[in-house]
Amino acid sequence: MSTKKLDLSIFDKFNFKLKPIGVKFLLFKPEGLRKIDKKLAICEMWREAQKAEPFYATVEDFNCVAPVLLGMADTDPIYESGSIGPALGIFEEARANRRVYYQITYLEKGSVKYVAMASIDKMKFSPDVLLLSANAEQLEIILRAMCYASGKMWTAKGTPVIECSWLMTYPYISGELNFALADASHGMISKQIFPAGTILVAVPFDKIATLIDGLEKIEWKPDLYTKGREYHDKKFEEVTTGLQKKLEAEK
């Protein structure tokens, strides 16, 4: 179940109020983990993993649409017709709700039988997705670290419902970091799963090392962020003037 393990200790530096968790999608039953003893939505399982001992879940342990997204169950016409959203007042018509199902990411049918979850301090496996519960200041550090070496643009994708897809299957398949406000998810608001203001950041397995490398290199709290407008403008002018002089000297 394990592959090459990364040193994740740098995430301790954030002092997250809620523990980071790892999620792994498996065809074979994981060893050394207990089966969850309650039936929950997958977003509730994330919160459970932050507080409890590591566990795995099977299709009968979910009370939401997640098994369909994970390829553990057949599609449901009641969901995919878009009929539920208008009845709950989330969408104007079924056609609007239905569009969601053409945007979200599914795993291949039958490819996942078990989903393992563990908080980062108890995790014994290499996660497919690392899920961080951050505030705005912590998110800024994460995004800056991700862009530090590559300059690659970051984006956030989501929908009012089935936000679990954007934080689980989408990053896993696309290889793109994604983040979303728990406060913008109908299910997470209704179930009161996370504290107000929680930003969920999903890091796919192939971006974890990139994030760690960036976090090790960047200045987490630059002086430019704390010394005010005048300091910023003066520093910016010093840098640009210095570069202009260097350019002139080469003529």
Query: What residue ranges do the domains of the chain occupy?
Result: 9-220, 221-251
For residues 163, 46, 197, 193, the Cα torsion angle rounded to the nearest 10 degrees is 90
Edge-to-edge strands, sheet with 114-119: 34-35, 55-57, 114-119, 21-26, 129-134, 199-204, 178-181
**In the predicted structure, residue 45 carries a pLDDT above the cut 70:** yes
Mean pLDDT of 7-25: 97
Residue 3 has pLDDT above 50, yes or no: no
What is the pLDDT at residue 2? Answer: 43
Q: What percentage of residues in the chain have a pLDDT greater than 70?
A: 98
The distance in angstroms from the start CA to the end CA of the chain is: 60
Q: Would the pLDDT of 134 be above 60?
A: yes
Q: Residue range 126-130: average pLDDT?
A: 97
pLDDT beyond 70 at 61: yes
Quote the pLDDT of residue 4: 58
pLDDT digits (tens, 9 = 90+) for 66-106: 999 999 999 888 888 999 999 999 999 999 999 999 999 99
Q: Is the pLDDT of residue 223 over 80?
A: yes
| pLDDT average, residue stretch 9-34 | 97
What confidence score (pLDDT) does residue 251 get? 80
Average pLDDT for 100-116: 95
Dump pLDDT digits (tens) for 147-206.
999 999 999 999 999 999 999 999 999 999 999 999 999 999 999 999 999 999 999 999
